[in-house]
C-alpha cells in the first residue's frame, strides 16, 4: 500500500473508473518507503526496452507467485543493485541494437552476479554487449516455430526436446562470442536460446511470455525458481492481510473517504478499506446521471447490505445535464464532467468529519505509464484519459492500496475479499460514463434511449454466456436519424451502434466476432423494445485506427 499527499496534476487514468486519479513527485517518496514490503522484498525486475509485452512478462512472473517490477531500461547498475532483485529480465523492443540511439542497459549490470534473462531484443543486447553479433534477417519472422532444445540445462529443465514457440523479430543474433553456448535452435534461428558459460546470463529469441508459446510459463518458472532461486511468496491473500494491517496502522483513528463508481477498482479499494477500518470509511457515489441501468442500485446494494459501509449517494443528474446542455464537442463534454465531479465531491466531502485520507484505485499500469515511479519506464508515457483527477486543495492524503497490482490481480483480490463475481468481472466503464456513448449533445431523452439499448446488449451477451469472453461490450447512440418502416408507417428514428471488443490492455483491441444469432437477437430486441430506435449496426473496427469508445 502507499500513502501520499494528494495533488492535482494527476496520472493518466486507466480505463475502468470514474472518479479520480492522481500521483505526484511528492507522492513518490512516501510510496517507495511504504509498500507491501514483506511480499515485494524478493523481486524480479523487467527492464523495459519499449516492448508491447513488458507488462505481460511481469504478469507472467507474478503468476509464479513472485513479485515483479517494471523499471526503466537505463536504470544504473548501482540502482539495480540497491533494488537487489533475484533476477533481471531484459524485455523485447522495437529497436535494432546496431542503430545509433537504440535503447541500452548499463553494461555493468552483467557483472552484478544477478541472473539475467534477455528476451528477443534483450537477448540481442546482451549478446552484443558480450562480444556477439546481431544482424537483420532477410525476412521478418513472425509466428509459430518449432524449437529444438539441444541442451536443457536449468532453463529448459523437465521440458520436452521439441517445443512450440512464438517468434516476432526482424533482427537476430548472427554470431555468439565464445563466452556463450547454444541451448536451443530452430530451422531459421541457430541461437534460439543461449547461456553464458560462466555468468548466470541467458537469452532467448522467442517470447516465453505469450500464450502462443504454450510452455513459456514453464520456461519462466525455471528461470524464476530454478535459476534465480525465488521462493513463491506473492499471494493475494497475503497481500490483503499485509495491506489491511498497514491501512490500520496508517489511518489510526482518522477517517478515509473513498469515491465509488461501480467499477472494479474502486469497489476493491472500498472492500479492502472496509475490512481494515470498518466504520471509519465513508464512501461517496456521485450519480451524474450518466451511469448504466441499475448501476446506482447495484452499488448501494453491495456497499450498504453486504459491507454496511457509510455510503453517501449524491444525486447530481440535474447538475451534470445542465452543464452538458448544448455541448457537442467530446473534449469539452469530458472537461465539464470532470469539473462537476470535483465540485460535487468537494461539497460532499466537506461535510464529513475527521476525514483525513482519500482512497484511490490507482493500479500498477497507471503508476508505470504515468512516470510516477522514478525507477519506472517513464519514457513510455501514454497520455491517456484523466477525467476527474481530484485536486490538491481538497487537502487529503492519498491512500492507494492497489498501486502494486495489475488488473487481473485486482479482480482476484476482489474475489478474495468477498465481492460478487458479477461486480469483479464487470467490463470497464469510462469516467464520463454514457456521455461518451451519446454522441453529440447529451440530453435526458437520449440517455433514456441509450441506457435501455445498452441494458439489452448486456443482458443478451450475458445470457449467451459471452460476457467474460469479451473485454468491453456496449451500445452507442448515434447522432443520426434514418428512415425505417414499422407496420404501415414510415419512421425517422435513431440508430444504435453495438460495440464489442477483445483486448488484453485496452491500448489495442479487436472487434469481437459475436455470433450472428446473438447480433440478430440484440437488434430485434432493441428495435422492438426501445422506443425511438429503428436501426442497429455492429461496429467492426479495430483499435487502432478506431478507438474503443466513439468519442
Residues that bind ligand XMP (CB under 6 A): 13, 15, 17, 334, 385, 387, 428, 430-432, 436, 472, 506, 543, 547-549
Q: Rounded to the nearest 5°, which phi and psi values hold at 130?
A: -115, 35
Q: How far is the CB of 86 from ligand XMP (least distance, A)?
A: 34
Among 209, 221, 220, 218, which residue's Cα sits nearest to residue 92? Answer: 209
Q: Give 17 or 209: the residue with its C-beta nearer to ligand XMP.
A: 17
CA distance 361 to 262: 12
CA distance 223 to 193: 13
Q: How far is the CB of 134 from ligand XMP (least distance, A)?
A: 35
Q: How far is the CB of 150 from ligand XMP (least distance, A)?
A: 44
Contact in structure between 314 and 279 (CB atoms under 8 Å): no
Among 246, 297, 321, which residue's Cα sits nearest to residue 422? Answer: 297
Q: How far is the CB of 483 from ligand XMP (least distance, A)?
A: 30
Q: How far is the CB of 209 from ligand XMP (least distance, A)?
A: 22
- 366: enclosing H helix or E strand: helix 364-370
Q: Give 85 or 432: the residue with its C-beta nearer to ligand XMP.
A: 432
- Residue 21: half-sphere exposure toward Cβ, Cα within 13 Å: 29
Among 256, 315, 299, which residue's Cα sits nearest to residue 281? Answer: 256
CA torsion angle 339 320 258 24 (round to 10)? -20
Among 198, 212, 80, which residue's Cα sits nearest to residue 143? Answer: 212
Q: How far is the CB of 354 from ligand XMP (least distance, A)?
A: 30
Q: Give 276 or 359: the residue with its C-beta nearer to ligand XMP.
A: 359
CA distance 15 to 11: 12
User: Sign of the CA dihedral 173, 175, 180, 181?
Assistant: positive
Beta-bridge partners for 162: 148
Beta-bridge partners for 141: 169
Q: Give 15 or 31: the residue with its C-beta nearer to ligand XMP.
A: 15
Beta-bridge partners for 201: 116
Q: Give 17 or 310: the residue with its C-beta nearer to ligand XMP.
A: 17
Q: Which three cell numbers stand for residue 218?
A: 514453464
Q: Give 147 or 424: the residue with its C-beta nearer to ligand XMP.
A: 424
Q: How far is the CB of 428 from ligand XMP (least distance, A)?
A: 4
Q: In what order do the strands lie in the sheet with 87-90?
A: 67-72, 43-48, 87-90, 116-119, 201-204, 193-196, 180-185, 133-149, 162-175
Q: How far is the CB of 66 from ligand XMP (least distance, A)?
A: 29
Q: Give 14 or 186: the residue with its C-beta nearer to ligand XMP.
A: 14
CA distance 9 to 22: 7
CA distance 415 to 424: 7
Specify the DSSP class assigned to residue 225: I
Q: Give 525 or 543: the residue with its C-beta nearer to ligand XMP.
A: 543
Q: How far is the CB of 16 from ligand XMP (least distance, A)?
A: 7
Positions marked catalytic: 120, 207, 209
- Residue 395: half-sphere exposure toward Cβ, Cα within 13 Å: 6
Q: Which three cell numbers stand for residue 456?
A: 439489452
Specify the DSSP class assigned to residue 87: E
Residue 462 CB coordination number (10 Å): 13
Q: How far is the CB of 424 from ligand XMP (least distance, A)?
A: 16
SS3 of 56, please?
helix
- β-pairing, 397-399 vs 355-359, is parallel
C-alpha to C-alpha distances, 82 to 112, 191, 422, nearest whole angstrom: 11, 32, 42
Q: Give 74 or 343: the residue with its C-beta nearer to ligand XMP.
A: 343
Cα Rg, the chain, nearest whole Å: 25
Amino acid at each position: 500500500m502507499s500513502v501520499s499527499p494528494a495533488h492535482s496534476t494527476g496520472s493518466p487514468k486507466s480505463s475502468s473508473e470514474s472518479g479520480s486519479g492522481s500521483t505526484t513527485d511528492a507522492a513518490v517518496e512516501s510510496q517507495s518507503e511504504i509498500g507491501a514490503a514483506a511480499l515485494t522484498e524478493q523481486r524480479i525486475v523487467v527492464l523495459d526496452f519499449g516492448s508491447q509485452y513488458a507488462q505481460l512478462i511481469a504478469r507472467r512472473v507474478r503468476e509464479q507467485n513472485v513479485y515483479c517490477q517494471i523499471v526503466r531500461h537505463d536504470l544504473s547498475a548501482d540502482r539495480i543493485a540497491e533494488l537487489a532483485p533475484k533476477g533481471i529480465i531484459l524485455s523485447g523492443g522495437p529497436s535494432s541494437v546496431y542503430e545509433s540511439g537504440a535503447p541500452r542497459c548499463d553494461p555493468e549490470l552483467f557483472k552484478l552476479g544477478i541472473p539475467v534473462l534477455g528476451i528477443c531484443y534483450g537477448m540481442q543486447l546482451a549478446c552484443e554487449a558480450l562480444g556477439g553479433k546481431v544482424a537483420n534477417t532477410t525476412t521478418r519472422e513472425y509466428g509459430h516455430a518449432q524449437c529444438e532444445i539441444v541442451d536443457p540445462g536449468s532453463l529448459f529443465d523437465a521440458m520436452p526436446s521439441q517445443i512450440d514457440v512464438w517468434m516476432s523479430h526482424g533482427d537476430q543474433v548472427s554470431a555468439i562470442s565464445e563466452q556463450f553456448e547454444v541451448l536451443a535452435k530452430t530451422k531459421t534461428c541457430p541461437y534460439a536460446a543461449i547461456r553464458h558459460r560462466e555468468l548466470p546470463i541467458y537469452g532467448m529469441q522467442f517470447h516465453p511470455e505469450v500464450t502462443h508459446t504454450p510452455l513459456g510459463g514453464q520456461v519462466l518458472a525455471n528461470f524464476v525458481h530454478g535459476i534465480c532461486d525465488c521462493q513463491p511468496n506473492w499471494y493475494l491473500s497475503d497481500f490483503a492481510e499485509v495491506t489491511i494491517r498497514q491501512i490500520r496502522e496508517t489511518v489510526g483513528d482518522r477517517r478515509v473517504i473513498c469515491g465509488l463508481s461501480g467499477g472494479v477498482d474502486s469497489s476493491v479499494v472500498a472492500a479492502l478499506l472496509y475490512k481494515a477500518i470498518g466504520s471509519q470509511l465513508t464512501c461517496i457515489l456521485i450519480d451524474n446521471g450518466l451511469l448504466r441501468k441499475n448501476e446506482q442500485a447495484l452499488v448501494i446494494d453491495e456497499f450498504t447490505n453486504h459491507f454496511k459501509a457509510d455510503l453517501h449517494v449524491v444525486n447530481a443528474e440535474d447538475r451534470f445535464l445542465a452543464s452538458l446542455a448544448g455541448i457537442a464537442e467530446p473534449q469539452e463534454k469530458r472537461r465539464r464532467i470532470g469539473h462537476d465531479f470535483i465540485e460535487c465531491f468537494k461539497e460532499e466531502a466537506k461535510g464529513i468529519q475527521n476525514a483525513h485520507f482519500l482512497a484511490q484505485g490507482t493500479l500498477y499500469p497507471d503508476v508505470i505509464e504515468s512516470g510516477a515511479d522514478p525507477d519506472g519506464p517513464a519514457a513510455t508515457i501514454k497520455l491517456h484519459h484523466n477525467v476527474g483527477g481530484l485536486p490538491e486543495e481538497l487537502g487529503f492524503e492519498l491512500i492507494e492500496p492497489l498501486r502494486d497490482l495489475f488488473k487481473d490481480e485486482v479482480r482476484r483480490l476482489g474475489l478474495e475479499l468477498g465481492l460478487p463475481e458479477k461486480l469483479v468481472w464487470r467490463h470497464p466503464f469510462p469516467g464520463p460514463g454514457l456521455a461518451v456513448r451519446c454522441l453529440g449533445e447529451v440530453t435526458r431523452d437520449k440517455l433514456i434511449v441509450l441506457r435501455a439499448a445498452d441494458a439489452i446488449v448486456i443482458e443478451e451477451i450475458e445470457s449467451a454466456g459471452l460476457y467474460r469472453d469479451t473485454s468491453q461490450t456496449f451500445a452507442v447512440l448515434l447522432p443520426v436519424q434514418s428512415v425505417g418502416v414499422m407496420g404501415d408507417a414510415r419512421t425517422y428514428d435513431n440508430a444504435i451502434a453495438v460495440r464489442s471488443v477483445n483486448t488484453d490492455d485496452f491500448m489495442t483491441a479487436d472487434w469481437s466476432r459475436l455470433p450472428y444469432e446473438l447480433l440478430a437477437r440484440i437488434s430485434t430486441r432493441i428495435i422492438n423494445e426501445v422506443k425511438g430506435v429503428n436501426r442497429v449496426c455492429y461496429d467492426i473496427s479495430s483499435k487502432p485506427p478506431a478507438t474503443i469508445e466513439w468519442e
